[in-house]
Chains A and B, each alone.
Chain A
Amino acid sequence: MDILRIENLTKIYGTGDNTVKALDNVSFTVKKGEFIAIVGPSGSGKSTLLHILGGVDKPTSGKVYMDGQDIYAQNDEQLAIFRRRQVGLIYQFYNLIPVLDVRENITLPVLMDGKKVNEERLDELITFLGLKGREKHLPNQLSGGQQQRVSIGRALMNAPAVVLADEPTGNLDSRNSREIVELLKMSNKKYNQTLIIITHDENIALQADRIIALEDGRIIRDEVIRK
């Protein structure tokens, strides 16, 4: 089943002399539960693509359908809620709220909904992420790897349909990198969550089910490597 359908996506930055075509008429579909790695050189448009998928950046033209719904047909408020519940974004630079502790950072999307936190699920996640005992710590009291795990926790808390990760291991050492990818893979298998990772690392890319290669804003290769 297609969880994600991208049609003729184009993104142009800048005006006049300085226009940059980050994405040029990109189209593809994603099945539920797929683990996709997006690769490509710098400036190929990977991050742009991810951000548009995550509802964070608007396309210049083209459509993105998640679960059959045109996400950019929504107004700002609906889009915000979409971001809260339907996707989970993980960035390269941890992007945690520095004044909130681990627990609060992870439960951020739930708190925004004003709903009660499912303590069981939270506990499960924290154990899963290896953060037990650090619930009350602030981000500046955590190592790089731990901060990234918190990011992942936040992305997974609401059990979104799609998890998008932009170079999640870019800032980490090899051991931490491996662990992070393991976590993401586990989540992908366990919860049948669709996972799309942007990465430079060949090793990571090869662990995915499918690799999409971008160059100059266009897909140059779309290969399923694992069934």
Chain B
Amino acid sequence: MNVFLNVTLKTLSRNKTRTLVTIIGIILSAAMLTAVTSFVTSLRCFMTDVAIYENGDWHGGLYSVGSGKIRELESNPEVLHVAACENIGYSALSNPKYGSSPYIFVIGADSSFNSIMPVHITKGRLPETADEIILPVHLVKNGGTEFSVGDRITLDIGVRMYENTILNQQTAFIAGEDGKAGEELVIKETRTYTVVGFYERPSFESFTSPGYTAITVMDGTVQEGRTYDVYFKLKKPSAIYSFIREEQQKEGYAGSTYNDDLLMYSGVSKYLGFYTVLYSLTAILVLLIMAGSVSLIYNAFSISVSERTKQIGLLSSVGATHRQIRKCILYEAMFVSVIGIPLGILSGLAGIGVTLSIVGQRLTSLYSGDVPYSLSLHVNIWTIIAAVLLAVVTVLVSAWIPARRATRITAMEAIRQTKDINVKAKDVRTSKLTYRLFGLEGMLARKHFRRNRKRYRTTVVSLFMSIVLFISASSFCSYLKDSVTDVLKTRDYDIRWVYNTRAYTEMTPRQVYEMLAQTDGITDSVYAYVEIGNAYVEGEDIRDEFKERFGGSAGGSEDSGADNDVYEIPASVFIVPDEVFDGYVSSAGLKNADAFVMAYVEGIDAVTNKYKKIKILRETASALDLKMLRSIEAPIPEGLSEEELDALIYKKTTIDIGAVVDSLPFAINGYNFGCNITVMVPERCVPRYFAGIEVMNDVYYYFKGKDHNALADKLRDALDKHGLPSENLFDAADYEETNRNMIFIINVFAYGFIVLISLIAAANVFNTISTGINLRRREFAMLKSVGMTQKGFHKMMNYECLMYGTKSLLWGLPAAIGITFLIYRSVNSGYETGFYIPWVSIVVAIFSVFAVVFATMLYSTSKLKNDNIIDALRNENL
């Protein structure tokens, strides 16, 4: 074996601790790099799977082609697979909800269609013969039909004609207008089908499609004039654009489409937004990891070179060339890499695998779709290769400069055994003050510190980086948490649904409520008509506290003309059923009245950063002026002045307030954030106060249940059954859960990353300090021989620790606070918050820094305790 390799390996095994620490550093770095690359791969896999689930496993599609085209595509060597459906025809619905979609559109699927295209069965099964059919679920809701599995339906099927052209599913319904006739359905045949199942609304049917797509089986008979839609996947996704362009030139071309989502995740599409973002974020993260790792590994090799100075000088004097010396260091790099990188990759995969199994479910719940996948670990050979390459580059970059430095070590340095020729007096000069305050030990400590600046700088920089990263990450997480959890802080309901009474007249709002209230699992519910307007309150009814904080912004003088200042404050009026109002009156022990008012400003106090609630109105307020929208039927004439317009659109009304209260019944707590007055009025008072005002249009329903997810589904079903707009159902609890999940995930990743970087920093510190001590064994022996006690020695080391700690904190804390400020600024642009300093993490950082430094010192000096003074002085073969 090469003697240089031999010497290197033996040296490494002698310094087991330092070698081990270096290997650990490489493992950490390789693990993080692997985690990043495998996360990216897994994410890409997941997004691709989702895209296929939602849109199908195809790249491009051609509409209305002949059967020959299908065969042509199937035999094309560039094409991976083909799915086709026969456009059988349209059948008119008797009572469609939307005039733009008045048909059922029947298609016959070939053998691959139902597996390649997003056909997801919700009830029953797929059709197997040409007289079985499945219907889309939204047909029930929107089509005004009542079909169930097992029904036999007979459809008169034909083609849509307009001005002698046949229309296909890509052309929207053409209605007749102003005397001109619209499209016509020309019936060609009658078919009978058995409904065998229902499937989810497919993505290949657009919202403006004229027909609801029902799927049967392609019957194989070639009919005159029958067209087909064909979807295909290419072996090379990037070829799709030129492929379709070619098709567009061919005769009989009638339209095409691209599966943009899948193409994007396959890295092809012109709109590579997803990948641009993903890869740039990844690059930043990778650079951060590499920077952190390089600092550790560079330091490790740098130390190695220092320790091997004598050895290297000796080898040089015996006749080793520069290249051979450089190889010595690079052999060291190779050795630690060969052990560290594979271990690192394995632990990185394991780590991200475990993380994804914990966090994957929450991540996919963030994605607003109902997909049967969760983000799990997927890697391919490129993932590993990328990680290995990055790790190798990191190690090489770290080892290069120390290797070059090694070549500059002259034999003279080895022979003389000291490098201190270079110490300049002014470098190690310390002030008399140091001596007076801290004694000899302090002065020595300071001189040592100043003499070996470069080495100590590395330690300080390592600590500095860790401090900054740690505190910044904590700030980031806590600001983020605040910005998200505030929003629905005092919500007491889980689910909210609203509809407009004009759009639905089959049931009264009360009947709707009673219908919905029968749903299983409701623990509390209420409904109310909600309107908004502006309240005008006299200054004497406003609390001082409110005036102080918001006097300027909440309004100034108004049109009252009186001496008092009048405040204009947004208001929401809840018109509740009489029994709800009366129930509240008795349970709250109030005297009956026409209205009750709750008026708060809620938010995070910008100064104290605490949640604060300020009352607006004094208890003495007895009446409230409201300005609300007038009920207008006639069109608004032109040319009116602003005042005339104002008077025409708005109407004022004055409400007698029974009391200003602290809380209102379930869910009637109004809009919670910002400045708002909530007025609760019973239905019976409407004629008295709201005549001529636009009220009782929007009805809000609030529900709370044990399992809000299940409740939301059941309510949606009930709404669908009655033709009410279930899409307005808002699961507030779910929204909050989503935010909590997001916070959790961010916390996991941020803190995971920080812990790893900090470990690297701690390793760095350990390496530097312990080596520094090792190299100064002779000095310490000399001090001991001159008469320094063990206690004095410890004092000296403690001073050094203090210097490391304070120096790194002196730089690190201001930098970290600066970054916290930047985080505050960026969060503040979206949502108002106060600037606060994360004291807890600062304390933790300070504590950790000193803990690491002192622990390292203790460990290293304990090894020196037993040094024989004379042996150390001679420094032979130590």
Contacts and interface: CB of A to CB of B under 8 A. Distances in A.
B318 A54 contact: no
Interface in A145-191: 154
B288 interface: no
Contact of A97 (B314, B319, B415, B876): B314
B311 A83 contact: no
Nearest to A76: B322
A111 interface: yes
Contacts of A109: 318-319
Contact of B412 (A51, A81, A84, A95): A51
B415 A91 contact: yes
Contacts of B414: 95
B877 A140 contact: yes
B418 to A, nearest CB: 12
A56 B3 contact: no
A93 B416 CA distance: 10
Contacts of B877: 96, 98, 139-140
B322 A83 contact: no
A108 B322 contact: no
Interface in B1-48: 2-4, 6-7, 10-11, 14
Interface string B306-339: 0000010011111111111000000000000000
B411 interface: yes
Interface residues of A, number: 31
A35 interface: no
Nearest to B878: A98
Contacts of A111: 2-3
Nearest to A89: B317
Q: Is the interface of B mostly helix, strand, loop or mixed?
A: helix
A80 B314 contact: no
A51 B315 contact: no
Nearest to A160: B319
Contacts, number: 81
A77 B318 CA distance: 13
A57 interface: yes
Interface string B159-170: 000000000000
A91 B324 CA distance: 23
B314 to A, nearest CB: 5
SS class, residues of chain A in contact with chain B? helix
Given A56-B412, A95-B314, A112-B3, A100 B321 contact: no
B130 to A, nearest CB: 82
A98 B315 CA distance: 12
Given A51-B412, A99-B7, A108-B3, A80 B316 contact: yes
B319 A93 contact: no
A104 interface: yes
Contacts of A97: 7, 311, 314-315
A83 B10 contact: no
Contacts of A57: 410-412
Interface in A46-104: 51, 54, 56-57, 76-77, 80-85, 89, 91, 93-100, 104
Contact of B319 (A51, A81, A140): A81
A56 B319 contact: no
Interface string A109-129: 101101000000000000000
Contacts of B319: 80-85, 109, 112
Contacts of A76: 321-322
Nearest to A158: B319
A185 B524 CA distance: 109
A124 B14 CA distance: 31
Contacts of B411: 51, 56-57
Interface string B561-587: 000000000000000000000000000
Contact of A56 (B2, B311, B317, B417): B317
B322 A104 contact: no
A80 B321 contact: yes
A141 B877 CA distance: 10
Contacts of A83: 316-319
Interface in B135-189: none
Contact of A99 (B14, B324, B410): B14
A172 B43 CA distance: 71
Contact of A77 (B3, B6, B322): B322
A112 B7 CA distance: 11
A82 B415 CA distance: 18
B10 A99 contact: yes
Contacts of A139: 877
Contact of A100 (B7, B316, B323, B417): B7
A54 B3 contact: no
* Closest 5 A/B residue pairs (Cβ): A84-B319, A111-B3, A99-B10, A83-B319, A56-B411
28 contacts: A51-B415, A56-B412, A76-B321, A77-B323, A80-B319, A82-B319, A83-B318, A84-B318, A91-B415, A93-B417, A93-B876, A95-B314, A95-B414, A96-B314, A97-B7, A99-B11, A99-B14, A99-B311, A100-B7, A104-B3, A108-B3, A109-B318, A109-B319, A111-B3, A112-B3, A112-B320, A112-B324, A154-B318
Given A111-B2, A154-B318, 6 more contacts: A51-B415, A84-B318, A94-B876, A97-B7, A98-B311, A112-B3
